[in-house]
Structure formats: C-alpha cells, structure tokens
Structure 1
C-alpha cells in the first residue's frame, strides 16, 4: 500500500507513463475525466491491472478503487461470471457478415430486464446511443431543436451537446442554436420553454435522477408535457441503469419514456451500450415501414459477440445475486462512515457526501462553504496516500466490509489534515503543486 505520508508517495513509473501518454494521445487519456489534470500534480497513477475492488498501478501500489471505469465496472474488475461468458464467445468468433444468434438472445435478455421498452439496438458507447435517440426524435417529429436538462453534466461527445459546454471549439454556432435547456425539477420552466419554441422541440432528454430524488410527480409531469407538446421523452439511463434498479430509473419510478439509453454498468467494462424504446419510434430505423429511412445506429462492432455475452452475464448476475441491493447497502455503509469521520474531525460541513447510496459523490468546501478545487486536491492527495483511489465514492459490488472500513479510516486521516488547512484558511501548503481542474473548461 502507498505510504501514509503524501510527501513520500512517489510514482516515478506512473509519471513516465503519463509523459508517454501525452506524447501520443491527446489529453493523455481516452476520456477527459480520466486525465491527469483531474488528480494532484505528479499523483496520477497509471493502472497496471485490477481485480475485484482493487487496482494496482505500474509502480506496484495497490488501491481500493471507487468510481470504477467511470461507473462502468459495477461488479468489480475481472468478474468471473462475465469473463466466463466472454471466453465462451471468443473461441466462436466475434464479428460476422450477418447477424449472429447472440444478437437476438441479447436483445431478448435486455427487453426482459427492461420491460418498459419494446425494441433495442446495441452500440459501443453512450454517445452513439444518445445521438441516435436525438436523430430518431427529430425524424419522427420533423422538428429541429433538442431540449437538454441543464443540470446534468454530460450527454454526448457529439455537436448537439458539446456545443453547450465551455469546450465548444470547432462546433458551428448554427448547431449550438438548435439546443436549448430546461432546469431539472421545474415543470413550469419546462412548459414555458416548450411554449416559447412551440412545435420546434423534437425531444426532452435528461437523466431521470441524479444526486437527489426526483421531486414528487416530476417525471410523470414531464411525461404529460411531452405528450401535450408532441415531443419525444428520452431518459439517459447510462448511470441510473442497473444502479437504481435492474430496469433503471424508469423501472423504479414507474414513468415510461419514449426512448432510453443504457451503457456503463451494462457490460461491466466491456464496450456495449443500448438504445431502447417504443416499437413505433424504433421502427423508423428499421426496414418494416413505408416512410423515409432513418440512419439510426449502424456500427461495425456494435454487435461483437463477446460484449453482448458480457451484457447478458451482467444482467443475469444482477438479478440472481441481488446486485442493486448490495450496491445500496455498501453505499449506505460508506456514506455513514465518511460522514461520521468528517464530523468527528470537525469538517462535516466541508466534506459532504451526496447522491443515491449506489452512486455517491463528494463535495469539498472551503472555509466559506464554497466548492473548492484546492481542497479537493488536498483531500485526493491524502486518500491516495492511504491507498484509496476515489474521484468519487461510487461503489462496486466487489467491495468488502473491510474495504469500506479501511476507506473510512483513510478518510478520517484526510479529514484531520483538512481541518488544519481550514484553520489556516489556506490549503496551499498541503497541495504540493497545482490544484485539480474541472473537466469542462475553455482553456487548458
């Protein structure tokens, strides 16, 4: 495990690997959220391998890992049931000139798990699925505008969304003008938006739930608004899928969207995503209708047999082993421990755990109660020093009670340093470098 003293936590091989990454890969990672700018300076471990809830860096340090694969590895790394399913398919070939029988089996399994949908099409990443949903909504309604929930951080790498972020370089203004925003939880503001752009908005797209529960009647109210204004309701279930319930937030709250998108936990780290929804809409991308054809999803690797086998194994494991309930139980234990540790060190108002138990994040607040990247840096440094890799507190089912207890101990040690920085009203002496940075920012 890394040493307790952050100043002695040296990652020479990781630093060299990060330099190689930046020399060859723009941003030094294939997802901006994994960039070394998200970690304290010179403390961005490069991973060698993982098993269960633990990962090892190239320097030989072991960490208890949270937020595994940006929430995609919810069963833990190298899960045996998933690997067994994948290995069975690898020996049989992975991609053919015609659909494999695995495609229909995976579709049947998915629609049995998410019975609110009638058809499904698989892809490799969440952005392809959400963009396909938007294209389908525009085709079905004949309308150009997309309404996104302003309070949700990410929907797609494609222009219709990225143009709304500070990283909008390279996206035409005319594209940006076609995307409008509505606030989460505010039906009146959403209705005003729909009325202002009467007959122009093709869809409302949002995460059905985030760090707090939907206000009573909110999702049902959105369903009614979408119906009344003739637009398509899209639930982005990339995070809520499986973590809220096996059928996602729509299965938990009983509100059925027209279209929904799934990914992340669906493959336990293997590349698979899904667009699902009402047959009437999904068939616009098919061959059994008489209207204009919609180029919905057409991906060479979208139906790789081993990824679909992984998805089927994940769904079976969730149902048979009660994984969603376990995620919630582990998250509740962790949240309670972290809150007690923070309160015990006098920083309970500054290190704040938020979110559903299966999807916990934390906020780091300064002496004035304002969000602080400097204090986040301090906190992350101390966690890393104690062998905890935690850009969030999102749990996997592979965590043990001992892992949770160890994490809470490390958090308590971090909180003691946090208290010293608050008393000094200056975290700088504990940063040992530049602060971590937000993902979405205009300048490097």
Structure 2
C-alpha cells in the first residue's frame, strides 16, 4: 500500500471528524513539560496556550516540510522553527556541513579558522556591512546594537518602532510590553516609540527628545511594504539628529533577499541584526554594521571599551558552518525567489478557498509572500482568538500545523494543494460559526491566547 496516499487519506478523515482528533501522548508530554519548564516551552510562541486546548502536538522529528508528533501524526508545517528553518528540516547540505565540523571539535580556547571563513562569507552576502560578530540568539544581537549605539552617541534613550511585536527579551524592550513584571520603571522610561511609515511623527519624537535618543531601531519591512521614500527618510533623520539607525533583519534577512531588506530597498543602516533563517534551525545570529561603530567593541581604538558581545558558544563551529551552508544554498539555488513563488501560490489558494466558502472577509492572509500570516476576524470584522482557535483546530485535524502561513522552500506542490483543501474544509466550519454568531461549539475548550498579556 502507498504510504503517502494512506497518510493523506488519514488526514482527510481527521478533518471530517475533527472532534475525535486526540493527542493523548502529546497531552501527557505537555504535562511533563510544565512540571519542569516554566511555561512548558523555551519560547513563549511555542507554548501550548497558543494552540487549541489539548491539541498542542509535541514533536518527534521533522524532515523537509513535514513534522511528526509523538502520537504518530504527520503534519505539513508552516512557520518552521518560528521562521528559522526556511530550507526545511534536516536539509542535506546543511547537515553535511554540521557533521564535518562536529568531527573537528566545536569550541576552542582561541578563535577557529571557521570564524574567519564565516565572517568573510557573511560580509560577502551582506556587502552593506563592514564588520560582523556572531552570537546565539537575536535578543543578544539587538541588545548589543542598542548598547553600542548608546556608547557611540553618549545618549541613553532608545526609540523603537511601536508596530514591531518583538525586539528582545532584555529589559529595554520587554519593559514596554504587557509582560513587564520584574522590570524597573526607570529602565522602561528610557525607551520611547515611533510609528512605522510616519516620518513626521518620528521627527516630532526626535525633536521632543533632541540630543537624547541614541538610536532608531525597527524591522525595515513587515506585514506591509515600506512607503516610498520611508527608509531613506529615516536614514536622513538619523543622520540629521545624530542617532544610530538599526535594522532588525531577524525575519527580513534572507526572506526579503539574501542581504535582507537593506539589500532589497537599497538603504544602508548603521547596524543590523540577523538570525532566524541564518542557521536553518541551528543557533546562530549576527550583529553587523559600520566599521567605525563596530570597532568600539574591539581592541583597535583608543576610547572606552564596550562590552559588545562575548558568548562562550557564540562561535560554535558547527553552527557557523550551518550558516555558511545556508548562505551558499540561498545563493546557488535562488531560495528567496522560491519562497516568494511558494508563498504566492499558497496565498492565492487560501484566499480562493475563503472566498468560495463565504469567509473571505474573515480569514485574511497578509504579508510578503515569503512571510505570510493570517488574521481571523469575527462576524463584526474584529480580530478573534475564538475564531483563530476554531481555524487552528480544523487545520491540526487535517494534518496542517500552521500558527502562520510562513513557508519553507521544502514545501511541494502536493503540500500546498493539501493545505488548501484542509483550509477549505476549515472555512466551511468557520462559515457555520459565523452564521451562528457563536464559535463556542467548535472550540473544544478555552480559546488560544496572545503571547503578550499581563496575566496568565
């Protein structure tokens, strides 16, 4: 019997009988996770509160665009590794590079030649940067950028783009979110916000705090394209008011172009940070930028030393090897273009399915084709966690794990076709709930919750 056909048939049966779709082993494993790990996961976005009640699968393994849970179910996965696994799980060229370095040792008392090669490869990929320093996660890189900007300018205030949901786990940012417990108000007061796309409001902020703002930090593009002239306008404002312009390219890096949004839009920041897709799931991030700024964290200057980035595992050889392999694959195989093509097909299919079933105004696909998300709106057109729960529940039962519709290059035409079929079936239920003006009977328990909230 054809295994692939059997799996697809089972997924379809799950969808038709979603109420019977159960994950007993995952449920037990989640209890064990919560008993030992605060929140039951090491990233809040992976928490089981982000999924329908008792339907948060615990993953056994993944290959390509598919993952399997410990209950034996296979899923087509989107948003892989919170956007980090853009080539698909266990990519052979990345795995080969990692294995080669594992046999040679992973960490030494002095820099490895791999650090030289990785820096050269990165700077060739992102030619708008002159120096780079590697770390293990995005928060360390963005916080290092902020610290460097403060040291360079002698100013304390940080201006963040208020439209971006996340910059760092560190106090200068998290203190501005609803999860600010444990962070002194004096720290939070040094962070101010400006709206994306509004140069007038940004200049008003810079004028109000003239001589106080060390940097402007933003994701250069997100769910909408930057308005014409916006990024260039920010560049001019940063220069005029003497502050450092920082691009957070954790998501836009590689998904917009190999060189990130700065490579696509042609506006050069003073500093930029990369991560996510850089290692295809391996832990590696990067702070890059102008030589005269970056050298403040080095040894070849006469000023006060800046503790920029100093991590025991920052130059772990196999992660740097993974990053080099990822950059090679992106360049040689045109991965960014593939991501856009796959995303465009998926978005078109989902929109058509939603329109045909009468929920086109309620299930809304947004974002650049390589970075798609979806919004679930209620009968009044307002964002709804209840309808999100209904939708996620039907997707899971149909073998689609999709907290977003962010694609990887491993997705096949058959994967997209099956996803659209499951979405269509989910939309039919969505329509029933809208007609009833009450999605409760289709939730199976409490609704999913936003990550950033003040109370549990």
**TM (normalized to structure 1)?**
0.99
Aligned to 1:442: 454
Can you list the C-alpha shifts for 1:78-134, whole angstroms capped at 9, x where unaligned?
000000000000000000000000001000000000000000000000000000000
Distance 1:38 1:60 in 2: 21
Distance 2:324 2:337 in 1: 19
Query: Secondary structure of the equivalent of 1:14?
Result: helix
Distance 1:142 1:198 in 2: 13
1:90 aligns with one of 102, 108, 116: 102
Distance 2:55 2:273 in 1: 35
Aligned to 2:212: 200
- The offset of 1:186, in angstroms, is 0.3
**TM (normalized to structure 2)?**
0.97
Distance 2:44 2:174 in 1: 13
2:351 aligns with one of 336, 339, 359: 339
Query: Secondary structure of the equivalent of 1:358?
Result: helix
- The offset of 1:4, in angstroms, is 3.5
- The offset of 1:52, in angstroms, is 0.1
Query: Secondary structure of the equivalent of 1:426?
Result: coil
Query: Secondary structure of the equivalent of 2:369?
Result: coil
Can you list the C-alpha shifts for 1:291-347, whole angstroms capped at 9, x where unaligned?
000000000000000000000000000000000000000000000000000000000
Can you list the C-alpha shifts for 1:33-54, whole angstroms capped at 9, x where unaligned?
0000000000000000000000
Distance 2:287 2:274 in 1: 7
Can you list the C-alpha shifts for 1:169-198, whole angstroms capped at 9, x where unaligned?
000000000000000000000000000001
Distance 1:146 1:196 in 2: 13
Can you list the C-alpha shifts for 1:5-26, whole angstroms capped at 9, x where unaligned?
2111110000000000000000
Task: Please state if 1:238 is matched with 2:250.
Answer: yes
Can you list the C-alpha shifts for 1:364-401, whole angstroms capped at 9, x where unaligned?
00000000000000000000010000000000000001
Distance 2:322 2:210 in 1: 43
Distance 2:185 2:423 in 1: 45
Distance 1:17 1:79 in 2: 27
Distance 2:126 2:279 in 1: 15
Query: Secondary structure of the equivalent of 1:433?
Result: coil
Distance 2:76 2:16 in 1: 14
2:325 aligns with one of 302, 313, 316: 313
Distance 1:309 1:83 in 2: 9
What's the C-alpha RMSD, in Å, of the aligned pairs? 0.4
Task: Please state if 1:255 is matched with 2:267.
Answer: yes
Distance 2:359 2:317 in 1: 49
Distance 2:16 2:243 in 1: 55
Query: Secondary structure of the equivalent of 2:239?
Result: helix
- The offset of 1:290, in angstroms, is 0.2
Aligned to 2:5: none
Distance 2:129 2:25 in 1: 47
Aligned to 2:16: 4
Distance 1:355 1:236 in 2: 17
User: Pairwise mapping of residues 200-239 of structure 1 onto structure 2 (< 5 A)?
Assistant: 200-239=212-251
Can you list the C-alpha shifts for 1:49-91, whole angstroms capped at 9, x where unaligned?
0000000000000000000000000000000000000000000
Query: Secondary structure of the equivalent of 2:371?
Result: coil
Distance 1:339 1:161 in 2: 35
Distance 1:293 1:60 in 2: 53
Distance 2:327 2:316 in 1: 17
Query: Secondary structure of the equivalent of 1:202?
Result: strand
Query: Secondary structure of the equivalent of 2:67?
Result: strand
Aligned to 1:106: 118
Distance 2:227 2:43 in 1: 32
Aligned to 2:405: 393
Can you list the C-alpha shifts for 1:193-230, whole angstroms capped at 9, x where unaligned?
00000100000000000001000000000000000000
Query: Secondary structure of the equivalent of 1:50?
Result: strand
Distance 1:121 1:174 in 2: 30
Distance 1:115 1:209 in 2: 19
Query: Secondary structure of the equivalent of 1:333?
Result: helix
Aligned to 2:278: 266
Aligned length: 442
Any runs of at least 4 consecutive aligned residues in structure 1 with deviations exceeding 2 A, and if so which? none
Aligned to 1:152: 164
Aligned to 1:43: 55
Query: Secondary structure of the equivalent of 2:116?
Result: helix
Distance 2:239 2:165 in 1: 26
Distance 1:321 1:20 in 2: 42
Distance 2:397 2:60 in 1: 18
Distance 1:403 1:432 in 2: 27
Query: Secondary structure of the equivalent of 2:389?
Result: helix
Can you list the C-alpha shifts for 1:406-439, whole angstroms capped at 9, x where unaligned?
0000000000000000000000000010000000
